[in-house]
Structure 1
Amino acid sequence: MKKKLFLSLLWALVVTASVYAQSDSPYLTKTFSGRSLSNLRVETSGGSIAVVGDQSSGVKVEMYIHPNNWNGKSTLSKEEIEERLEDYIITIREEGNTVVARAERKNKMNNDWKRSLSIGFKVYTPRTFATDLRTSGGSIRIASLTGEQHFTTSGGSIKANDLSGNIKGRTSGGSIEVANCTQYIDLATSGGSIKANELEGQISLKTSGGSIALTSLNGDIVATTSGGGIRADGIQGALNTSTSGGSIRMSNLAASVKARTSAGSIEADFDRLGEYVSLSTSAGSVRVNMPLNKGLDLDLRGNKVSIPLKNFDGRADKDRVQGSMNGGGIPVTLSASSGSVYVN
C-alpha cells in the first residue's frame, strides 16, 4: 500500500509538471461545489487532458492555452489569446450531476493553423467520480479515481494510474502506460507501445504497432500486438498473449499461459504451473523452465525436442514427445514449426 501511495503521489507531481510546462498558470479556473456531482465530461480538439481525483469535495477545472505547434510562436499575449478565442466555443459548466469542460472551433472546417490554439484542461475531482474524456490532438493523464472511466485520444499518449472500476481507453497515435489499476481494464493503441504494471482483474491490452511490457499482473489477461516483442514478469492468473512481429519473453510465471508468435522465439520461466501451458512459434525456438513434478500431459513438437523424462508413458522421438508424466494432468503443448523445443 505504501508503494502504491508513493507511486500515485509521484505520478500526480509528474502530471502537474507536464501541464504547467505548457503555461505558468491556467488561463481560466472554475470551481463547482454541487453535492450531487458525480460525472465529468471533457472534450477538446487541440490540447491535453489531465484528471486527478484528489479533492475531498467539489470540482476544480483549469483551462490552459498555448499556441498550436504549427504556427511557429512559443507564447501569445493576452490580447492575442482573446482575439483567437473568438474562433472557439468554450463551455465550462454544470449539467445536472455532470461537470462539462469543452473547447471546440466554431467553424470545424476552418484549417487556418496559424490562428489555432492548443486548449488543454486539468480537472481535480473527488476520488469517486466517473469520466468521459476526448481529445483529438493531445495526451490524456488520469489518476486516483474509482468508477467508470472512458478516455479517447487520436493524437497522443495515455497514462493511467491508481484507477478502480470499468476502465476503457483508446489512442490512435501514442503509447500507453498503466499502473496500479483494478477490476476491468480495456486499453488499446494503433500506434505505440504498452507498459503495464501492478494490475489486477480482467485485463485487455492491445496494440497494432508496438511492444508490450507486463509486470506484476494478476487476473484474466489478454495482451496482443501485431508489431513488436512481448515481455512479461510476475504474472498470476491466466495470460493469453500473441505477436506477429517479435519474440516473447516471460519470467516468474504462476499462471495458465497461452502464447503465440509468428516471427520470433518464446522463452518462459514458470515458478508454478496453472491449468495449462500452450506455447507456439512459426519462426523460432521454444525454451521453457518449469516444474516437472506434477502430473503432465505432454504434446511437444519441433525440429528437435529436448526434455528430461521421468515417470513417462508415451512416445518420445527426436522431433516429437507425446504422452503423460507422473500419471498425467496439466496439458502442456509446445510447438516450434521451424525451430527446437527445450524444456529445463
Structure 2
Amino acid sequence: MKHIFTLLLSICLLDITVFAQDRAPYLTKSLSGSNVNSVYARTSGGNIQVTGVSASEARIEVYISDNGKNLSKEEVSKRLKDDYELTVEMDGNKLVATAEPRHSFSNWRNQLNVSYKIYVPSDVTTDLSTSGGGIDLTNLKGFQNFSTSGGGLTLNKVSGKVRGKTSGGSINLNDCKDDIVLSTSGGGIQAANCSGKLRLNTSGGGIELESLDGEIEAETSGGSIRGEGIRGNLYAHTSGGPIKMRSLSCGLDASTSGGSIDVELTEVVAAITLNNSGGNVHLKMPSNKGLSLRLRGDKISVVDLKNFSGDQDENSITGKINGGGIPVSVSTNGNLTFALK
C-alpha cells in the first residue's frame, strides 16, 4: 500500500521532532518502516549527505542555516513558510525531499540554506541536486546520479553505476568500485583504493591517484597528475602540468603539453605510450620482459640498455630488448632519459 507523508512548513506534524537551529536538526523524520529503495533530493542552498545504514536506522534530518543572521526557531519557521516550500514524502518506496524558493531573492544573504542528512539502506538509488552546497555519499551500492553547482563531491565505499559532477568544487573518492564517472569544472580530484572503470575529469585542478585497479581515465586542463600503486590500464592527460607516476603495474597512455613526465614502473604488463610537447621525459622500468622500443627526443640518455638489438642515435632508439614484445613508445620535444633496472 502506498505510504505518503508530506511536510509543508505551514503544518506541524506530531511525528516530526523539531530541534534548535544549527545545534541539531531542524527536524527529524524516521523512515524505519518505509522500505526506502530510492532517494530524490533537491535543494538550492545546502548540502546533501546520504549514508547507507540498516533499515531500522533509516531517517532523514533537515538542517537550516540562515547565513549568520542568528534567527530564532520561530523566525526560521516563518521564513520557511513565507519563502519556501519544503516537502518530505514517501512516494511508494521513494523518499522525496525538496526545498524550493517561492520567489527570487534580491540579496543572497536573505536566503536560507536547507541541507539534508539522509540515512537509508545501502542498496538504494539516488537522484540528487544542489546549487549551493556539497554532496557526500557513504556506504551505498546501486545507481547514484548527483550534481552541484557550488560545492565538492565526497564518496566513500560507494559501488555500482555512479555519475556525478560539480561546477565549483573538488572531488574526493575512497574505497569505491565498479563504474564511476565524475567531473568538476573548478577543483582538484583525489582517488584512492578504488577499482573498476573510473573516468575522472577536471578543468581547473590537479589529479592525485593512489592504489587503483582497473580501467582508469584521468584528464585535466589545468593541473598536474600524480599516481602511485596503479594496476590495470591508465590513460592520463593534462594540458597544463606535469605527470608523475610511481609503482605502476599497468598499461599506460600519458600525455602533457605543459610539463615534464616522470614514470617508474615496477612491472611491465601492457603497452606504454608517453607524449610530451612541452617538457622532458624520464622513464624507468624493469628489464626482465621482452620490449619493442620506439623512442624519440631532442636528446636521449640511456641507463643499462642491455640485450638490445636495433638502431640507436642521439635523437631516437628503435629496436628490441630481449627479443621484443610489449610496445614502449615515447615522443618528446625535450630530453628523454630511459632507464632499465
Q: What is the TM-score normalised by the length of structure 2?
A: 0.90
| Matched-pair contact (CA < 8 Å) for 2:305–2:339 | no
Matched, 1:313 2:303: no
User: 1:204-228 CA distances to partner (integer Å, 9 max, x unpaired)?
Assistant: 0100000000000000000010000
Structure 1 residue 115: deviation in Å? 2.7
Residues 81/35 of structure 1: CA separation in 2 closer, same or farther (3 Å cut): closer
Structure 1 residue 341: deviation in Å? 3.3
- Corresponding residue of 2:289: 294
Of residues 234-243 and 77-86 in structure 1, the stretch that sits farther from structure 2 once superposed is: 77-86
- Corresponding residue of 2:268: 273
Matched, 1:138 2:133: yes
Bigger Rg, structure 1 or 2: 2
- Corresponding residue of 1:40: 39
Q: What is the TM-score normalised by the length of structure 1?
A: 0.89
Counterpart CA distance in 1 for 2:258 and 2:238 is 8
The correspondence for 1:258, drawn from 249, 253, 264, is 253
Matched, 1:225 2:230: no
Structure 1 residue 97: deviation in Å? 1.8
| Matched-pair contact (CA < 8 Å) for 1:334–1:341 | no
Matched, 1:239 2:238: no
- Corresponding residue of 1:65: 64
Matched, 1:339 2:335: yes
- Corresponding residue of 1:94: 90
Counterpart CA distance in 2 for 1:213 and 1:310 is 34
Structure 1 residue 35: deviation in Å? 5.1
Aligned length: 319
- Corresponding residue of 2:53: 54
Matched, 1:176 2:171: yes
Counterpart CA distance in 2 for 1:262 and 1:112 is 43
Counterpart CA distance in 2 for 1:161 and 1:309 is 44
Counterpart CA distance in 1 for 2:101 and 2:69 is 21
Counterpart CA distance in 1 for 2:69 and 2:268 is 56
Structure 1 residue 284: deviation in Å? 1.2
Counterpart CA distance in 2 for 1:155 and 1:145 is 23
- Corresponding residue of 1:207: 202
Counterpart CA distance in 2 for 1:76 and 1:187 is 37
- Corresponding residue of 2:29: 30
Q: Which letter maps to 1:313?
A: S
Counterpart CA distance in 1 for 2:106 and 2:129 is 20
| Matched-pair contact (CA < 8 Å) for 2:281–2:334 | no
| Matched-pair contact (CA < 8 Å) for 2:37–2:94 | yes
The correspondence for 1:326, drawn from 314, 319, 322, is 322
Give SS of 1:148's match.
Answer: strand
| Matched-pair contact (CA < 8 Å) for 1:49–1:135 | yes
Give SS of 2:75's match.
Answer: helix
| Matched-pair contact (CA < 8 Å) for 2:36–2:121 | no
Of residues 51-60 and 218-227 in structure 1, the stretch that sits farther from structure 2 once superposed is: 51-60
Higher helix share: 1
Of residues 110-119 and 171-180 in structure 1, the stretch that sits farther from structure 2 once superposed is: 110-119
- Corresponding residue of 1:128: 123
Structure 1 unaligned blocks of 5 or more:
1-19
Structure 2 unaligned blocks of 5 or more:
1-18
| Matched-pair contact (CA < 8 Å) for 1:154–1:171 | yes
Q: Percent identity, please.
A: 45
- Corresponding residue of 1:10: none
Structure 1 residue 59: deviation in Å? 2.9
Q: Which letter maps to 1:318?
A: E
Give SS of 2:140's match.
Answer: strand
| Matched-pair contact (CA < 8 Å) for 1:159–1:176 | yes
Structure 1 residue 283: deviation in Å? 1.4
Counterpart CA distance in 2 for 1:32 and 1:211 is 40
| Matched-pair contact (CA < 8 Å) for 1:84–1:116 | no
Give SS of 1:165's match.
Answer: strand
Structure 1 residue 114: deviation in Å? 4.1
| Matched-pair contact (CA < 8 Å) for 1:167–1:184 | yes
Structure 1 residue 110: deviation in Å? 3.5
Of residues 38-47 and 110-119 in structure 1, the stretch that sits farther from structure 2 once superposed is: 110-119
Residues 261/114 of structure 1: CA separation in 2 closer, same or farther (3 Å cut): closer
- Corresponding residue of 2:185: 190
Aligned-residue Cα RMSD (Å) equals 1.5
